[in-house]
Structure 1
Amino acid sequence: MKLKTLILAITFLATFNLFAQNTYVFLGSYNRDKTAEAIQVYQLDTLKGKLSKVTSAKDIINPSYLTLSPNGKYLYACTDTKTPNAGSVSSFEFNPENKSLTFLNKQSSGGENPVYVSIHKSGKWLVNANYTEGSVSVHPLLENGKIDSLAQNFQYMDGSTNKERQTRSHVHSAVFSPQNDYLFLPDLGVDKIRCYQFDENKKQPLVETKSPFTKTDLEAGPRHFTFHPNQKFGYCIEEMAGAISVYQYENGTLNKIQRIYTHPDKIKSGFESSDIHISPDGKFLYATNRGKENNIAIFSIDENGLLKNIGYQSTLGKHPRIFAIDESGKFLIATNVLTGNVVVFKRDQKTGMLKKTENKVKMENVSCVQIKRI
């Protein structure tokens, strides 16, 4: 009898904890003015996809990319993006109970125009990529969520073949490996994916490897990177070429096995590819195109990691920069910078296709989105 009661109690607590969690959507904006809202937070109805505003933050400039701590308590942003001779990373504390987003502090990003920020799974390290000056920076994170002073900074001076866009390095993202023991840096300016080993126990955790980079095709312009949930494959979206390169991954090493375009064959120019994500079940990959085609390219993923294009979905706006998929895999949320609209799509988890919902919000110059169940 006691055992049955215990099982019922455990089941009740597990169910309570599941439903006690809520899903939140964090939006950044190229606000360009401290009096305008820079970050907005919404709660996502995971049945209907409706967005309900929770809180917002001002007094910072141009948060171009957001990420959250593993426990969802702290929000980190690339700030002072697209600001001459400036660049910073900022921290906030998010409290869903009292609906507050409180600024904590900021530090120099170690380079101009920060565009990507990642948090190590330990919650103790922040890494950011600086586009204009081509660099990567590492900051320790304090227990109270604040960002500590710079621990490491690597700047790069090499370039590639395109004389207009590749005269020097432009690091566009900083992505941890599945085990968080390596860091990958797609560099649009040099057609390389740089790589470091990451030792979380060192005061300077970035350690050079025997193979410091993987070459991409010339004038590819590698931008963002994501790993498959099975940890065996990596996918890099190439902004300039409008393609995705697929890599077999093992212990910090990338071996290319496929390259496939993100746009219809009839489109040969006037577009850029931007963001890339995989559904939680690992069956589908999504990638955004901007320009003549403002859409999301949809791919199925075979067991061997290879991609097959199965369709496109308009983002219902112009210049989709960043999108995100919620942890349940039910919804995809896209942000359109030029039209300032955020659109919620319902995912068909069997086919991978997207269907627009009537749930959307307006945010001028919306730059990015993150979704987190807390």
Structure 2
Amino acid sequence: MTDLVLVGCYTAEANGNGTGISAFRREPGSEVLTLASTLPMTSPSWLAKHPTAPIVYATNETATGEVTSVAVDAEGELTALDVAATGGGHPCHLAVTPDGRFLLCANYSGGSAAVFALRPDGRIGARTTLVQYHGTGPRADRQEAAHVHMVVSSSDSRMISVVDLGTDQIRSYRLREDGTLTPLAVSPLPPGTGPRQLVRHEGTDLAYVAGELSGKLLTLRENSPGAFEVVDAVDATAGRYSAENLVAHLEISGSRAYLSSRGPDCVTEFTTEPATPVVDQPCGAGPRHFALDGGRCFVAAQDEDALFSFPVADLGKAEPRRHPTGSPSFVLPLTVA
């Protein structure tokens, strides 16, 4: 078994300094990373792993929009497999349904959501659905059109929810056996929220939304499958401040939520039920994404050309370890046999 950390990035086509997907070997139980390989690729800004096959999927965040499947071996070598058009510009998020049958894709500038069938070996099959959205929000500079930022599956793989930053809405669907969608609910959020991510708190009827434009963490109650009601909203940080806070990535681990903010440049820990900010951990400029793994946090600090890592138990007082890498946008710890 080999512990790896894969890093997606922005490349020159998106004014980034990265070169593709980088694979780092990780010393067991530590933050020590050694570069194993790099697979050149255009702006692989988001990565998602298959639940059983040694395959990851990468968005190629360009105006045309593609997704690439990549095989990962135990030495950290990466091999590109399939390339498929996403049907919309600047795909920015991917998710695999827990049953491994479908790949979900959010097209940001395209304002659309796509579903791809996956073969039993994890290879990309046909695109089964492409849903186009229209509408605006109150922020003329960011909400002039639909901007899908996330498509997320329920834990039973039977339902998906589409998060639209441009229209302040969450749209939920039943995911049918053939990969097509049946509408379930449309949930409006406060105008100007600019929802970026939705994460359910498993075992409860609550979910949380990262409001990129409002600088808030929203608590939602799922009153029926896919139908959400806002019950609370709190500031995205415990105290660090910036005139513009672009909230980024959201994770839930046990009874805690974690949220990164660009501008304040920190990861903030929250209690849940109710959500309350506890402590801010500085983590480098532009923390676009982070991952919690083995008691440690790995942060993709896009604007500092580096990963930063630190023990979660030391949030607020940790001295982060710096790992140079060009324009990182996503970090994915995984173990490969």
Pairing of 1:338-357 with structure 2 (within 5 A): 338-348=303-313, 353=315, 356=318
Contact 1:51 1:360 (8 Å CA) reproduced: no
Q: Of Structure 1 and Structure 2, which has the larger fraction of its residues in strand? A: 2
Structure-2 residue corresponding to 1:207: 182
Which amino acid counterpart does residue 116 of structure 2 have in structure 1? H
Q: Distance in 1 between matches of 2:320 and 2:282?
A: 14
Q: Give the direction of change, closer, same or farther, for the CA distance of 1:308–1:290 in structure 2 (3 Å limit).
A: same
Residue-by-residue CA offset, 1:169-222 (whole Å, 9 max, x unaligned): 0000111122222111111100111111112x2x2332211x2x2111100100
Following superposition, the deviation at residue 32 of structure 1 comes to: 2.6
Following superposition, the deviation at residue 144 of structure 1 comes to: 3.5
Structure-1 residue corresponding to 2:278: 310
Q: Give the direction of change, closer, same or farther, for the CA distance of 1:355–1:267 in structure 2 (3 Å limit).
A: closer
Q: Distance in 1 between matches of 2:312 and 2:238?
A: 21
Following superposition, the deviation at residue 353 of structure 1 comes to: 2.9
Following superposition, the deviation at residue 226 of structure 1 comes to: 1.2
Q: Per chain length, whose mean CA-contact separation is higher, i.e. which structure has more relative contact order (CA < 8 Å, sep 6+)?
A: 2
Residue-by-residue CA offset, 1:59-81 (whole Å, 9 max, x unaligned): x20011001000251010101x1
**Which consecutive residues of structure 2, in runs of 5 or more, have no partner in the other structure?**
none
Pairing of 1:1-374 with structure 2 (within 5 A): 21-32=1-12, 37-58=19-40, 60-71=41-52, 73-79=54-60, 81=61, 83-84=62-63, 86-96=64-74, 98-199=75-176, 201=177, 203-209=178-184, 211=185, 213-249=186-222, 250-263=224-237, 267=241, 269-279=243-253, 282-291=254-263, 293-301=264-272, 305-315=273-283, 317-326=284-293, 328=294, 330-348=295-313, 353=315, 356=318, 359-374=321-336
When structure 1 is superposed on structure 2, of 157-166 and 61-70 the one drifting more is 157-166
Structure-2 residue corresponding to 1:4: none
Which amino acid counterpart does residue 146 of structure 2 have in structure 1? S
**Which consecutive residues of structure 1, in runs of 5 or more, have no partner in the other structure?**
1-20
Paired positions, count:
333
The structure with the larger Rg is 1
Q: Give the direction of change, closer, same or farther, for the CA distance of 1:266–1:323 in structure 2 (3 Å limit).
A: closer
Following superposition, the deviation at residue 268 of structure 1 comes to: 6.8
* Sequence identity (%): 23
Residue-by-residue CA offset, 1:225-269 (whole Å, 9 max, x unaligned): 212232432111000001011122353232322111103568473
Which amino acid counterpart does residue 246 of structure 1 have in structure 2? T
Q: Give the direction of change, closer, same or farther, for the CA distance of 1:112–1:31 in structure 2 (3 Å limit).
A: same
SS of 2:303's equivalent in the other structure is coil
Q: Distance in 1 between matches of 2:335 and 2:317?
A: 22
SS of 1:338's equivalent in the other structure is helix
Q: Distance in 1 between matches of 2:80 and 2:240?
A: 47
TM-score scaled by length of structure 1: 0.84
Q: Distance in 1 between matches of 2:240 and 2:36?
A: 43
